[in-house]
Every structure is written in C-alpha cells, then in structure tokens.
Amino acid sequence: IMGKTALTIDVEENEIIFSKDMDRRMYPASTTKLVTAILLAKNKKREDTLTYSEHAKASHPYNLDLEVGAEIHAEYAMDALLLFSANDISCMIAENIDITIEQFSYHMNHYAKELGLKNSHFVNPSGLHSTKHFSSAYDLSVIARDLYNYPWIMETLGKKESIIHINNTIENNTIKIKNRNKMVMQKGCIGGKTGWTPE
C-alpha cells in the first residue's frame, strides 16, 4: 500500500480487515463530496429544483459552468456532484440548502459529530484545499458505511455516466458526463468517490 493511510472494512461485520495509520488527519479532497451528497439526500427530493448562483459559477474547476440562474433537479445535481465531481455544483447544493457555505459547513460538522468522528472538520462542500479541512481513513470509512442508508446515493455512485438536464438555458439544455471513478464496475467495485489536490 503506497498511500500514507488506508483502511479496509467488512461492512456487514463492522470488522477492520486492514489498516495503516487510519486515524491520521489528511486532506480529503473531493471525497468530501460524500458528506455533501448525504446532506443533499437528507434535505431535498430528487425532483426538487436547485438554482445556480454567481458564487457557484466562480468556483474552481472541475465545473459544469452553467448560466447564472439556471436550474437543475436535485437528481442531476447529485450526478454532477458524485460522477463529475463538479465543484460549482457542490457550491450550488450548499447554497440551496443553507444559503451560505459557512452555514452548510456547520451542518457538515454537525453530521460528523453525530457519527462520532474525531478527526474530521469541514469548511467547504467540495474538498478544495484548506488546512482547516481534514478527515482520516477511519472517519471516511464511517461516512462510507452511512451511504448504505441512502439508496439514491448508492445508485448514483454506481453509474458510469449520466445526462444532466438543465432548465432555463438559452443554449445547450443537456450535458453528458462520465464517472471520474474508473474503478466502478471493475473487480467488484459497486461505487465510490475519488479525490485529489496537489496538497
């Protein structure tokens, strides 16, 4: 295992099979979006409409780069969040649930506290780098286990691709995206979330 930290768990037995420095605080990058997805599933229905803001448009790539004021259903926001790992869509989700990123981050940390996570703290919904934004292999495994309680998320994580339908746009009203997680449907992988930053 070349990674600095790692963990393998039997979900049904709640048994650790392999671990390597599993409580070490690390930068979770876009695996953060699993928490954002859970809060989306908790607060919105698939058919609910989300509106795209100027703040979302100003997000760092990867982005869908929609028109300000464009609307998409939460179902497509979930696809863009977990398959394409769109940072602008994570911002849009946060703003449509809590108005500000700060308020949404508060709810991310409240969720982490509910799960009993001791080595996680979140300051944004996308995983863009901040020294105040961290998690651990163990904490991420607890979050990943909680995903099984959300069929909508599990279904999304297993998709190879999706077509995003956009409302209120002048030009293209659909965007085709592919899952950036190349492991899906390979060697038994039923889904997951990848993440990377230079840090």
Could you tell me the CA-to-CA distances from 3 to 6, 109, 179, 188 in Å, in that order? 7, 26, 22, 21
Across the strands, what pairs with 51?
Answer: 71
Mean of pLDDT values over 118-132: 98
DSSP 22: T
Residue 170 reports pLDDT greater than 80: no
Residues noted as catalytic: 30, 33, 85
Cα→Cα distances 42→29, 101, 137, 147, Å: 22, 17, 24, 11
Find the radius of gyration of the CA atoms of the chain. Answer: 16
Per-residue pLDDT reduced to its tens digit, 19-41: 999 999 999 999 999 999 999 99
Per-residue confidence (pLDDT) for residue 76, from 0 to 100:
98
